[in-house]
Amino acid sequence: MAKKALGKGLGSLMGTAEAETAAFDSDSTLPISKIVPNKDQPRKLFKEKELSELSDSIKQNGVLQPLLVRKKGAQYEIVAGERRYQAAKLAGLKEVPVIIKDIDDDEVFKLALIENLQRSDLSPLEEARGYRQLIKERGLTQDETAKLVSKSRSAVTNTLRLLDLPSEVQQFVEDGSLTAGHARAILAVPSEEGRIKLAQKVVEEKLSVRQTETLAPLFSVDADATPRHREPTPQSFKRAARQLRLALETNVKVKSVRGKNKIEIEFSTEEDLAQLVNKLSGMDGEQ
Catalytic residues: 82
Paired with 262 in beta bridges are: 255
Q: Round to whole Å and give the CA distance between 28 and 243.
A: 96
CB within 8 Å of 78: residues ≥ 6 apart: 35, 36, 37, 38, 41, 67, 68, 69, 85, 112
Would you call 123 exposed, middle or buried from its count of C-beta atoms within 10 A (0-12, 13-18, 19+)? buried
Distance of CA 82 to CAs 25, 38, 92, 250, Å? 20, 8, 15, 73
At residue 212's C-alpha, the angle toward residues 210 and 217, to 5°, is 115
For helices 105-118 and 124-138, angle between their N-to-C axes, nearest 10 degrees: 150
